[in-house]
A and B are shown apart, each in its own frame.
Chain A
Amino acid sequence: MENWRKHPLVFWAFSLPPSFWLIVFFFVPLTLVWGLSFSEKRGIIETELTFTLDNYLRGLEPIYLEILWKSILLAGGATLICLVVGYPVAFAIAFASERWKPWLLLLVILPFWINILIRTYALIAVFRSRGYVNFAYEDLWTAANWLVGLVGLSLGERFVPLSLLYNNVAVVAGIVYAFFPFMVLPLYANIEKLDRSFMEASLDLGAGHWRTFFSVVFPLTWQGALSGIVIVFIPALGAFFIPDLLGGTDSQMIGNVIERQFKSANDWPFGAALSFLLMYATFFALALRALVAGRRGAGALDA
């Protein structure tokens, strides 16, 4: 690496175009929204910067506070499921034979490259009352009904399909479906580089597999878990079309409110404040992760 002063012309040739783009088409828009979050609405789309905190305070009204809380619950629940399922999956991949490993990894990564919207739509088709989950359930129900019928009992008059869609459970399932690969990859990376002899030593000293997991494996791989939590939780918190397509009337998340403020309610300052609440949460999560990852000195782009 050399000092930029040695070749100032080359330096500017390299740095100006991306910097221009980044500043004008990313930081200016963000700053604009930040400014909006302290503005007051004057007419249909006119706003005035008055450095008011009203927009943020409005976010603390019970109705929005409840949505905020629900967003955290849904996103948090989905993140937890990703973590709990992600660990065994990451384990299985890390301990798979060399022949299987790349294929299992590919299978985990591939859905990530399929459009998230299409995947959400695909989920609708299997979850709805006339979808495959209910078909399988109906077959089971019919078979079970025939079995109990043999002893003169009945499970009921007729099959009642499960309501798998348009509720909070569907939203959580949708988030898990969308972001699961984000959890597995950092977990896998951390388990893969964990020295196996730590686990062997723990077993050798008399600990069982669960004890080994909680006393040795988790403490030595939790940075991967934290990375996974951050990169699942942040986008999950800002999700808006997943609750829109899979949720019911009470499955509104903060993303839906933001979208409404910008797309239909036209209260941009309030939408801006809510979207910056998300940004602050993001910065907090990233700072936390950076703090924990600590003095490893890796730049953001090396991550």
Chain B
Amino acid sequence: MSDSRSDAIIQIQGVTKRFGEVTAVERVDLDIRAGEFFALLGPSGCGKTTLLRMLAGFEQPSDGRILIGGQDMTGVQPNHRPVNMVFQSYAVFPHMTVFDNVAYGLKVVGTARGEIRPRVEEALAMVQLEDYGSRKPDQLSGGQRQRVALARALVKRPKVLLLDEPLSALDAKLREAMQLELVRLQHSVGITFVIVTHDQDEALSMADRIAVMQDGHVRQVADPQTLYEYPSGRFVADFIGKMNLFEGRVAASDATALAVEVEGLGRIELPPDGQAPGAGQPVGIAVRPEKVELFRKAPPEGSVARRGTVAQVAYYGDVSYVFLDLEDGPSLNATVQNADRAAEPYFTKGETLWAAWNPNDFLVLGE
């Protein structure tokens, strides 16, 4: 525990934020380590932006406290915090040139004139806008304006860079390029990045660690792979990626065996799990669509296999989603890689197939 504290650049301790009757953030504890790329992920209204704005100092916590670099930020105004922000709208000052925008944060704190120019130029070079210093923001594209916002924040050499939905205003192609760009930038400057996003792909592909938020609470904090493969609860399992979720009841649970009676699937034997609820408890069990394999013939031994009819096939180019109606009621989604373009025939509607998966790929989700 003390280890994680010592390298935590941001410590959020029991922070609650109420707006009148509404509680936007409730008793959140979170440590963000120095130098990591951290994402706050959640649906809109989950409190992630409020949390970010409390880090920046635009909102004061109603309860709890925030430490940045070990210092209590309670009552510290935004202009005195060692963090800088890239706004969702970029907030690039329209009445200033690109150069003046980037220089602004240095000028207002009285940086020596001789120091301003080289630092601004360095920051502009970092975002590949060396030749744009004299342009006005209305002569820039959305992507360029975002780079200005980045340079303007980075030139301050903050301890933490806060990014509020930085990619949401960009089109899909540019967004992908910027994802890589942001990761590259974070590696080269070594500054802690905290990004707020509602887009799971963005969070998974960029962040070292992700905090998933819902209704003002942090549901899970983990690296992307853990989050995807071992979600801690129903919300995270459902929010990240696609999931087949079935309701069931624990039939047997001890150190050697775990069995769940699932509606429509019957009794399923799972690897033993020390944390699973006791017998008789309701549980959800889930499996990711890409872990489900489809067979025209009988599936191999040892897997969980059920028969079903193809209800619909959604073709996405690289993959297809096959929706099956299982014989005993529930429907199931399976992802099929379209790896071989000569593979014939594709699964067609009305066809009866075997769906099979490894019992190890099951997730047991409590309440």
**Could you list which residues of chain A lie within 8 angstroms of chain B, going by C-beta atoms?**
195, 197-198, 200-208, 211, 215-216, 219-220
Contact = CB atoms under 8 A, between A and B. Distances in A.
Interface string B73-113: 00001111001110111010111000000001100110000
A206 B79 contact: yes
A203 B78 CA distance: 6
Given A197-B89, A200-B78, A205 B105 contact: yes
A205 B88 contact: no
> Which of the listed residues A195, A205, A211 has the most CB atoms from chain B within 10 Å of its own CB?
A205
A103 B224 CA distance: 50
B88 A197 contact: yes
B95 A197 contact: no
Contact of A220 (B83, B94, B104, B153): B94
Contacts of A207: 79, 104-105, 108
B152 interface: yes
A203 B57 CA distance: 9
13 contacts: A195-B89, A195-B91, A200-B78, A200-B87, A201-B85, A201-B91, A201-B152, A202-B108, A204-B57, A204-B153, A206-B109, A206-B156, A207-B79
Ranked nearest first, the 9 interchain pairs of A and B with the lowest CB-CB distance are A205-B105, A201-B91, A197-B91, A207-B108, A203-B78, A197-B87, A219-B95, A206-B109, A204-B85
A105 B83 CA distance: 37
Contacts of A208: 79, 108
A211 B77 CA distance: 14
A207 B56 CA distance: 14
Interface in B136-161: 149, 152-153, 156
Contacts of A202: 93, 104, 108
Nearest to B88: A197
B89 A204 contact: no
A205 B58 contact: no
Q: Number of contact residues on B: which range applies?
A: 20 to 34
A208 B152 CA distance: 17
Given A201-B149, A205-B105, 6 more contacts: A203-B58, A203-B79, A204-B57, A204-B78, A204-B79, A204-B85
A216 B78 contact: no
Contacts of A201: 85, 87, 91, 93, 149, 152
A215 B96 CA distance: 10
Contacts, number: 64
B207 to A, nearest CB: 22
A200 B79 contact: no
Contact of B104 (A195, A197, A200, A205): A205
Contacts of B83: 204
Contact of A198 (B57, B58, B93): B93
B91 A220 contact: no
A200 B78 CA distance: 8
A190 to B, nearest CB: 13
Contacts of A203: 57-58, 77-79
Contacts of B152: 201, 205
B154 to A, nearest CB: 11
A110 to B, nearest CB: 28
A211 B78 contact: no
> Which of the listed residues B56, B78, B80 has the most CB atoms from chain A within 10 Å of its own CB?
B78
Nearest to A203: B78
Contacts of A200: 56, 58, 78, 85, 87, 91
Contact of B108 (A195, A197, A211, A219): A211
Interface string B4-21: 000000000000000000
A195 B94 CA distance: 11
Contacts of B89: 195, 197
B108 A205 contact: yes
Nearest to B108: A207
Contacts of B104: 202, 205, 207, 215
A205 B111 CA distance: 13
Contacts of A211: 108
B77 A205 contact: no
B95 A205 contact: no
B84 A205 contact: yes
A42 to B, nearest CB: 57
A173 B356 CA distance: 86
Contacts of B88: 197
Contacts of A205: 79, 84, 104-105, 108, 152-153, 156
Nearest to B94: A220
B159 to A, nearest CB: 13
A220 to B, nearest CB: 6
Contacts of B156: 205-206
A9 B357 CA distance: 80
A210 to B, nearest CB: 11
Nearest to B77: A203
A198 B88 CA distance: 11
Contacts of A219: 95
Contacts of A198: 91, 93
B138 to A, nearest CB: 13
Contacts of B93: 198, 201-202, 216, 220
Nearest to A208: B79
B95 A220 contact: yes
Contacts of B87: 197, 200-201
Contacts of B85: 200-201, 204
Nearest to A199: B91
B95 A206 contact: no
A212 to B, nearest CB: 8
Contacts of B84: 204-205
